[in-house]
Amino acid sequence: MVAGRPLTLATETLVDVLVAAGIVFAVAFALGMAANVAASAHHPLLPLASVSGSLLAGLAVWAWRRESLPASTRRASRADWGLSILGAFGLQAIAIGYGWAAAALGRDSLGSNIGPVLAAYAAAPMMTLLFAVVVAPLGEELLFRRVLLHRFALGGRPGLGLAVTSLGFALIHEPVPGDRGVGLWLLKLAPYVLMGLGFGALYLRTARFGPVLLCHMLVNATGLGLLFTGR
């Protein structure tokens, strides 16, 4: 059983994050070198190498921790799956509304990964769809919900876990302000925090991995559909 002390939770979470980050960078670099794309930071397929790293990181940390973080044996109910689908469209509606509000204020809230995704799609459309809709959600949900949030929930601190994992989820998509300035960075960070809160709340509500994975996949799929249709 996981101890509920904040220091224990924080230490184990930090270790998992560092292990996952190391795997992501190692795999992305190795695949980039193998595909001869590492020479260019703007190569269209480089983001797919990073997503491959995130999947292997999620699988590795989950395999390492799953015995100490046992999942419920209850099967997901129809209500759980229904909530997953409703949650996906609800989160997408929030994201659309957020984008419209930002645009009305003359601000660009699109994530900084949109350009690389479009470039990857132009170079390898089917592979990009697979990675965006299946591979990325699987790796991210294994790490952030099945391992990290699950640990906080077992430790009796689900609210803290929801906050920590939502922020971490956002930071892997928008890690640093760069030359954009802090204000624009926070504007782009906020939708990912909201997504993380939604996915996390669904996981805590259902206590099952399948529904939250489906929700994430649907959010990414509908988001890509809106992006490619220009809506």
Count the neighbouring beta carbons within 10 Å of the beta carbon of residue 81.
16
Q: Are 141 and 209 in contact (CB under 8 A)?
A: yes
Mean pLDDT of the 147-164 span: 95
Q: What is the mean pLDDT of the chain?
A: 89
What's this model's pTM, rounded to 2 decimal places?
0.92
**Predicted local distance difference test score (pLDDT) of residue 228:** 83
Tens of pLDDT along 20-58? 999 998 887 776 666 565 445 556 667 788 899 999 999
Helices and strands (H, E) in the chain, number of each type: 10, 0
Cβ neighbours around 34 below 10 Å, total: 10
